[in-house]
Amino acid sequence: MKSRLEVSRAEASRVKSERQLAREARRRRKAVVSGAVAGVSTAVVLGLLAVGLPSSPGWPRVRETFLSWPHFTAAFPDVLSGFWGNVKIFLIAEPIILALGLAVALVRTVKTPAFFPLRALAVAYTDVFRGIPTILLIFLVGFGVPALNLQGAPGDPMVLGAIALVLSYGAYVAEVFRSGIDSIHPSQRAAARSLGLSQAQSLRYVVLPQAVRRVVPPLLNDFASLQKDTALVSVLGVIEALRQAQIHSTKTFNYTPYLATALLFVLLTVPMARFTDWLAARAEGRRAPGGR
Amino acid sequence: MKGPEVVLLRRLLVLPAAAAVLAASACAPADNTDTKAAPSGAAVNCAKDRLPLKTAGKLTVATDTPAFEPWFKNDDPSNGEGFESAVAYAVAEELGFTKDEVVWEKVGFEQSYAPGAKTFDFDVNQISITPERQKAVTFSDGYYTVAQGVVGLADGKFAGATAKEQLKDAKIGVQVGTTSLDAVQGQIKPATQPSVFNNQIDAVNALKNGQVDLIAVDLPTAFYVTAAQIEGSKIVGQLAPAGAKEEFGMLLEKDNSLVGCLNQALGELKSGGRLQQITDQWLSSAAGAPVLK
Q: How confident is the model over B18-54, as pLDDT tens digits?
A: 444 343 333 333 343 443 444 433 445 788 878 888 8
* Beta-carbon-side half-sphere exposure of residue A14 (alpha carbons within 13 Å): 12
- The mean pLDDT of B91-113, rounded to a whole number, is 90
Q: Is B182 at the interface with chain A, CB within 8 A? A: yes
- Residues of chain A contacting residue B206, judged by C-beta atoms under 8 Å apart: 143, 237
Put simply, the answer to whether A250 touches B110 (Cβ < 8 Å) is yes
Question: Residue B7 pLDDT > 50, yes or no?
Answer: no
Q: How far is CA A115 from CA A105, A174, A175, B46, B163, in A?
A: 14, 18, 19, 79, 62
Q: How far apart are CA A243 and CA A236, in angstroms?
A: 10
User: Any residues with CB less than 8 A from the CB of A122 and at least 6 apart, and which?
Assistant: A104, A107, A108, A174
Q: Which residue of B has its CA nearest to A232?
A: B198
Containing H/E element for A206? none
Q: Which residues of B touch A253 (CB under 8 A)?
A: 113, 132-133, 135-137
pLDDT-based confidence at residue A12 (cuts at 50, 70, 90): low
- Does the structure show a pLDDT above 80 at B9? no
Cβ pair B133:A249 closer than 8 A: no
Contact A61 B197 (CB under 8 A): no
What distance in Å separates the CA atoms of residue B174 and residue A138, rounded to the nearest whole number? 19
**Residue B215 pLDDT grade (very low, low, confident, very high; cuts 50, 70, 90):** very high
Distance from CA of A171 to the nearest CA of B (A): 27
Residue A250's pLDDT is what? 87
Question: Residue B132 and residue A253: Cβ atoms within 8 Å?
Answer: yes
Sign of CA dihedral A191, A194, A195, A199: positive
The whole-number pLDDT of residue A4 equals 56
- Summarised one tens digit per residue, pLDDT across range B220-260 is 888 888 888 888 888 898 887 767 788 999 999 988 889 99
Mean pLDDT (chain A) is: 88
Q: How many CB pairs under 8 A join A and B?
A: 78
**Given pLDDT bands bounded at 50, 70 and 90, which one contains residue A192?**
very high
- Residues of A contacting chain B (CB within 8 angstroms): 58, 61-62, 64-65, 143, 146-147, 149, 155, 157, 234-239, 243, 246-247, 249-255
CA distance A83 to chain B (A): 15
Whole-number Å distance between alpha carbons of B152 and B222: 10
Whether residue B212 and residue A253 make contact (CB cut-off 8 A), yes or no, is no
Best-predicted range by mean pLDDT among A184-198, A245-259, B243-257? Answer: A184-198
Asked if A61 lies within 8 A of B115 by C-beta distance, the reply is yes
User: Is residue B80 predicted with pLDDT exceeding 80?
Assistant: yes
From CA A186, how far away is CA A105, in angstroms rounded?
17
Distance between CA atoms of B275 and B279, rounded to whole angstroms?
Answer: 6
pLDDT beyond 50 at B202: yes
Give the pLDDT of residue A2.
52
Q: Name the strand (E) or helix (H) holding B66.
A: none
Q: How high is the mean pLDDT of chain B?
A: 81
> What's residue B223's pLDDT?
86
Q: What is the pLDDT of residue B36?
A: 40
B132·A252 Cβ contact <8 A? yes
Q: Do B196 and A157 touch (CB under 8 A)?
A: no
Among A177-186, B12-21, B86-95, B238-247, where is mean pLDDT lowest?
B12-21
Read off the pTM: 0.74
Q: Which of A203, A174, A175, A210 is nearest to A99 (CA)?
A: A174
Segments of B9-132 assigned E as strands: 59-63, 102-106, 122-123
Query: For the complex shown, is ipTM > 0.85?
Result: no
* Whole-angstrom distance, CA of residue A123 vs CA of residue A111: 13
B197 contacts A237? CB cut-off 8 A = yes
| pLDDT score, position B292 | 73
Length of chain A, in residues: 292
Confidence of residue B15 (pLDDT cuts 50, 70, 90): very low
DSSP, collapsed to helix, strand or coil, labels residue B130 as coil
Nearest to A237 among B113, B136, B195 (CB): B195
Residues of B in contact with A155 (CB under 8 A): 210-211
Give the separation between CA B137 and CA B109, rounded to whole angstroms: 13
* Residue A57 Cα distances to A46, A53, A54, B74, B117, angstroms: 19, 9, 8, 41, 12
Percent of chain A with pLDDT over 90: 57
Has residue B114 got a pLDDT over 90? Answer: no
pLDDT greater than 80 at residue A142: yes
Amino acid type, B266: L
d(CA A107, CA B41): 78
More confident residue, A290 or B274: B274
The residue ranking higher by pLDDT, A83 or B41, is A83
Does any CB of chain A come closer than 8 Å to the CB of residue B132?
yes
Q: Pick the residue with more confidence: A289 or A96?
A: A96
Helix ranges, chain A (H): 4-12, 18-55, 59-66, 69-109, 116-131, 134-148, 157-183, 186-194, 199-202, 208-229, 241-252, 256-287
pLDDT attached to residue B110: 84
pLDDT value, residue B68: 83
Contacts with A145 from chain B: Cβ below 8 Å = none
Query: In this structure, are residues A216 and A281 in contact, taking their beta carbons and an 8 Å threshold?
Result: no
Mean pLDDT, rounded, for A11-27: 85
Structure confidence at residue B24 (pLDDT): 39
pLDDT at position A292 is 54
Distance from CA of A206 to the nearest CA of B (A): 49
Edge to edge, the sheet with strand B291-292 lists: B195-197, B172-175, B214-218, B148-153, B233-239, B291-292
CA A96 to chain centre: 16
* Nearest CB to B176; choose among A64, A143, A247: A247
CA distance A165 to chain B (A): 18
Q: What is the pLDDT of residues A39-69, one digit of tens each?
A: 999 999 999 988 888 888 878 878 888 888 8
B116, B181, B203 ranked by CB distance to A247: nearest: B181
**Beta carbons of B196 and A235 less than 8 Å apart:** no
Please state the rounded mean pLDDT for residues A81-95: 93
B136/A155 CB distance under 8 A:
no
What was the pLDDT predicted at B20? Answer: 41
> At A140, which amino acid appears?
L
